[in-house]
Amino acid sequence: MNLSRRTVLGATLGVAAVAATTACSAKPGGGGGGAAPAADEIKLGLNYELSGDVATYGQASAVGIKMAIEELNAKDGVGGKKIKLVEYDNKSDAAEATTLANKLMSQDKVLACMGPATSGGFKATIPVANKNKIPVVSGSATADDVTWDGKSVQEYAFRICFNDSFQGTVMAKFAAENLKGKTAVIIKDNSNDYSKGLATAFTEEFGKLGGSIAGEEAFVAGDTDFNTILTRIKGQTFDVIYLPGYYSEAGLIIKQARDLGITAPVLGGDGFDSPKLEELGGAAALNDVYFTNHYSSIDKDPKVVEFIEAFKKANNEEPNAFHALGYDLGHFVADAVSRASELTGEAVQKAMAETKGFVGVTGTFDVDEHHNPVKSIVVIGLKDGKQATSEKVG
């Protein structure tokens, strides 16, 4: 099948219903890809957080990827070859992700690997990718230094999501320009590079726009009682709270803040995007809450609407951003494979680096010289815990 970058979405969504009957052969979390691929198949690896602390991200990404691959296999696959996914659970552990990357590349002989979902896990696999000359691609690893450390590019690492600096910068502009905020309090996870990176970018941009940081508080992943830090900031004067963290702590912080009578808007990053946020925070607390994201389920773009309808039909649930990123990731890798001069890791890497005008549900993008996508961001507003507003920026 000749995959056109500009038509792949429309060409594949129409077969979603049929796709459900052509599932990949790998067992969830079980792997079992064997040795060299058969002549009529292309092996791709899934190295995801299917259990452990951030399983919700990995599980959703894997569901999106499988939907994309099932759609492709329901047609002609890629170049007449069916795609076989070899899937492993890295248990949300970076060391396990490294071990599985080695296994996927040296034993299972995959042509490219997708995942992990988080920056720490993904970065742990990059040395393995560079050594074996097999591309690794993440749909959601947002740390600034994932593919480029400021000096050199990680040759075999790519991602299809924006980076943390962009998230922090956009949210600072949203706070200053849309919410007319002049002062902010930052509550960040001091044990997490993602949280610290977003906080740094927000602080720098907010200052450039004339804003000031009235206070800064910190917690560590796994904390559940935030009343001490919230009581401290309750006595301060500020317009917004910037809370760059994962849903697991953010939901509790927002609930406890509202219980203390703190009504200021709460702003965050894509770590908010999980059904668990509402479960932990409660719908009543999740008002005047905004976060940057890759995709919004209320976006009226025809491509997004088409994806949502197909996803719901195939999976019987509403897709979130990680589903959408996983779906785009599956098509992005398949597209590169279809354009590669030969079925080798080197050729697929070259095709990925040359990607122009890829059309996905999370945006249309080129891959830049640092192996990052050039794409827009979405700011989502919540009302009673549900998405109520969506604005594309960038």
Q: Quick count: other Cβ atoms within 10 Å of Cβ 224?
A: 11
Do 122 and 136 meet the contact criterion of CB atoms below 8 Å apart?
yes
**Percent share of the chain, pLDDT over 90:** 78
Q: How far is CA 32 from CA 51, 55, 86, 107, in A?
A: 18, 21, 7, 10
Residue in the structure block whose two tokens are 């050039």: 374
Radius of gyration of the chain (CA): 21
Outline where DSSP puts E strands in the chain.
41-48, 82-89, 112-114, 136-138, 157-159, 183-189, 212-219, 240-242, 266-268, 289-293, 358-360, 363-367, 373-374, 377-383, 386-393
Q: How far apart are CA 123 and CA 151, in angstroms?
A: 16
Q: What does the pLDDT look like over 293-351, one tens digit per residue?
A: 988 989 888 999 999 999 999 889 989 889 999 999 999 999 999 999 999 999 999 99
> Does 32 score more than 80 pLDDT?
no
Q: What does the pLDDT look like over 162-193, one tens digit per residue?
A: 988 899 999 999 999 999 999 999 999 999 88
Do 308 and 319 meet the contact criterion of CB atoms below 8 Å apart?
yes
Q: How far apart are CA 290 and CA 382, in angstroms?
A: 6
Q: What does the pLDDT look like over 260-282, one tens digit per residue?
A: 999 999 999 988 988 889 999 99
Q: Which residues, including other chains, have CB under 8 Å from residue 72's CB and lie 6 or more apart?
A: 1, 3, 12, 78, 83, 330, 331, 334
Q: How far apart are CA 226 and CA 184, in angstroms?
A: 18
What domains appear along the chain, each with residue ranges and CATH number? Answer: 41-162+300-376 (3.40.50.2300), 165-293 (3.40.50.2300)
- Residue 16: per-residue pLDDT: 33
- Residue 295: per-residue pLDDT: 87
- Residue 242: per-residue pLDDT: 98
